Amino acid sequence: MARWTASDMPRLTGTTAVVTGANSGIGAVTALLLARAGARTVLACRDEGRGRAAAERVRRAAPGADVRLVPLDLADLASVRRAVPLLAAAGDGRLELLVNNAGVMALPLRRTVDGFEMQFGTNHLGHFALTGLLGGALRAGSARVVNVSSLAHRIGGLDLADPNAEHTPYDRWRAYGASKLANLLFTDELHRRAAAAGAPLTVTAAHPGLSSTELGQAAPVMEGRRGMARLERATRLFTQPAARGALPVLRAATDPAAAGGAYFGPDGPLEVRGTGAARARRSAASRDPLTAAALWETSVTLTGVDPAAALTGDD
């Protein structure tokens, strides 16, 4: 199927789906449509107040849906560890779908609770650890994992000798691109290792093109630049609504024909916008198996979590 829309979504009755960063934007739309399709839907959100409000919106828009909230701050590995048993319990010990959607973009240099550069730490390392720690529940559910990347992966270059920008000059956009490149490298490496272990896990990825969300507000608000915050909101006139940006994510999450390693984006010109989801293009750097393997080992060292153990049942 070259083009895919929300009408192509299968029924998801009996599925438990976790969506990170589901309180707004692409994550909120994804959670809503998964709930409407019959999935028990778990919103994993950093801000509990906004998460509760988002969960209530989903319940109102999808009457009868089983919608739950679990606090999760991907910039704090202790929070990730606290969330894992709650997320697993939401699916009675098995999860069929994990959408690694939450992220931050183009922030000034900041560090996570554990000392990681904020974008690499939140967008990649937090999700790497979450996926690994949920391994038992994912394996039990013969699950699908979806990593949400970005067009910006094409501008990123990973420096695995200094992944947390401790010794080299920091560029916020290159750091963002590097974190999104890491999402695709992790997708491929997790897919390869799952296949080699014979684990019942499908790993896909997607990007939303240029979509109207709150993602661009964090940096100007953090720096007190109100004018830039207003300008960022104005630029959304040239982007597509989040409902369309979520379509590639939903295809990566639910299309039965999507094989491991598949990558989807908007079906319009340059993958910037579209009315459906189609196969997306990737940079050569995002396909490098040596870099993917090295990133995996670096991520294990930094987080203390090895998803490979979950693939073999040794977690």
Tokens 């991907």: give the residue: 74
Write a three-state SS string for the chain.
Answer: CCCECHHHCCCCCCCEEEEECCCCHHHHHHHHHHHHCCCEEEEEECCHHHHHHHHHHHHHHCCCCCEEEEECCCCCHHHHHHHHHHHHHHCCCCCCEEEECCCCCCCCCCECCCCCEHHHHHHHHHHHHHHHHCHHHHHHCCCEEEEECCHHHHHCCCCCCCCCCCCCCCCHHHHHHHHHHHHHHHHHHHHHHHHHHCCCCEEEEECCCCEECCHHHHHHHHCCCHHHHHHHHHHHHHCEEHHHHCHHHHHHHHCCCCCCCCEEEECCHHHCCCCCEEECCCCCHHHCHHHHHHHHHHHHHHHCCCHHHHHHCCC
Catalytic residue from among 116, 128, 176, 264: 176
- Decide if 125 contacts 160 (C-beta within 8 A): no
Tokens 């501008």: give the residue: 155
Q: Tokens representing 8?
A: 């192509």
Half-sphere exposure of 254 (CA within 13 A, CB side): 30
The torsion of the CA quartet 74, 98, 19, 255, rounded to 10 degrees, works out to 140
Q: Tokens representing 254?
A: 């639910």
For residue 263, indicate whether it is catalytic: no
What are the catalytic residues?
176
